[in-house]
Amino acid sequence: MTQGAIDRKRWCQGQVRELHAWTDKLFSVRVDAAVQPFKAGQFTKIGLFIDGQLVSRPYSYVNAPTQTPLEFYFVTVPDGPLTSRLVRLVPGDPIEVMSKASGFLTLDEVPQASQLLLLSTGTAIGPFLSILKTDQPWQRFERVVLVHAVRLAEELSFAETISSLRADHPAQFDFVPVVSREDTDFAFRARIPALIADGRLEARLGLSIDAHTTQVMICGNPEMVKATTATLEARGLKRNRRREPGQISVENYW
């Protein structure tokens, strides 16, 4: 789509407020744009005109629906058509944002339970942070656990947000970091499905994951989503579908 042909009912032109570098590969782009209301956990599309054509991809909102600026958390993919341009943005640059959000990784799709487990790899922590910044999880669940699996410790972004969630909900909230490619004295060195299968995650949290007590939301690397779903299914949990409610709600990032 060329600049002249863009549908201004679907796309709103935003402005970059800030590009925050967490590491040399991980960034938050903070944007001012008059998008339509969305639900925490949803994604939209963001795009840039490259050689005269709009190149756009889906990104989850990291900010809560009531917060500004809009925030999107991304990793630079080697030779990625869009991310290699997103990293060059500077404050004031125009950026296209699809006005209407999409996606069902939202708490209103999740049945009631006493425990909510949010399992993420890499940049897919984003939608869960949006959810955790709202009142809903704290009103609905007795325990809320966020697991963030990354390759390297430096990729555990959002430490301040997580600290303030801990301070605001000390009895309800647990954050479990997983760092798979180096040893640390604070994180598991493993993959999420293995941590569930061998009981280490439950032992660390002092809870049990079962279909009666637990709702699980999983987001990120599709192979992790698949393997984790299979591990949970072996424990008797089922995929959550509108027509057939279950305990496992998922979103794949590619």
Ligand X SMILES: NC(=O)c1ccc[n+]([C@@H]2O[C@H](COP(=O)([O-])OP(=O)(O)OC[C@H]3O[C@@H](n4cnc5c(N)ncnc54)[C@H](OP(=O)(O)O)[C@@H]3O)[C@@H](O)[C@H]2O)c1
Ligand Y SMILES: Cc1cc2nc3c(=O)[nH]c(=O)nc-3n(C[C@H](O)[C@H](O)[C@H](O)COP(=O)(O)OP(=O)(O)OC[C@H]3O[C@@H](n4cnc5c(N)ncnc54)[C@H](O)[C@@H]3O)c2cc1C
Q: Which residues are near ligand X by CB under 6 A?
A: 75, 77-78, 121-122, 149-151, 180-181, 191-193, 221, 223-224, 227
Residue 58 interacts with ligand Y (CB under 6 A): yes or no: yes
Partner interacting with residue 92 (select from ligand X, ligand Y, none; CB below 5-8 Å by kind): none
78 interface partner picked from ligand Y, ligand X, none, CB below 5 to 8 A per type? ligand X
How far, in Å, CA of 200 to CA of 223, rounded?
A: 20
Whichever of 58 and 94 has its CB closer to ligand Y, that residue is 58
Residues 6+ apart with CB under 8 A from 114: 141, 142, 143, 213, 214
* CB neighbourhood size of 176 (10 A): 20
C-beta closer to ligand X: residue 11 or 253: 253
Strands (E) in 33-166, as ranges, are 43-50, 53-60, 70-75, 94-98, 115-121, 143-150
- Side by side, the strands of the sheet bearing 143-150 are 173-179, 143-150, 115-121, 214-220, 248-252
Q: Does position 27 bind ligand Y by CB under 6 A?
A: no
Q: Rounded to the nearest whole angstrom, what is the least distance from the CB of residue 205 to ligand Y in the complex?
A: 26
Strand partners, 72: 29
We find the least distance from the C-beta atom of residue 121 to ligand Y, in angstroms, to be 8
Distances (CA, A) of 196 to 181, 200, 207, 234: 18, 6, 12, 11
Q: Which is nearer to ligand X, 10 or 181 (CB)?
A: 181
**Which entry of ligand Y, ligand X, none binds 126, CB below 5 to 8 A by partner kind?**
ligand Y
Contact, 115 vs 213, CB < 8 A?
A: yes
11 binds ligand Y, rule: CB under 6 A: no
Q: Cβ of residue 83: shortest distance to ligand X, in angstroms?
A: 8
Among 14, 38, 40, 73, binds ligand Y (CB under 6 A): 73
Q: Counting contacts by CB under 6 A, is residue 56 touching ligand Y?
A: no
Q: Does 180 bind ligand Y (CB under 6 A)?
A: no
Q: In the set 57, 143, 148, 191, which binds ligand Y (CB under 6 A)?
A: 57
CA trace torsion 18, 221, 114, 62 (10° rounding):
10
* Region near ligand Y per CB under 6 A, out of 13-21, 56-64, 137-145, 168-176: 56-64
181 binds, among ligand X, ligand Y, none (CB under 5 to 8 A by kind): ligand X
96 binds ligand Y (CB under 6 A): no
Residue with tokens 């341009």: 85
Residue nearest ligand X, Cβ-based: 122
- 169/142 Cα distance (integer angstroms): 10
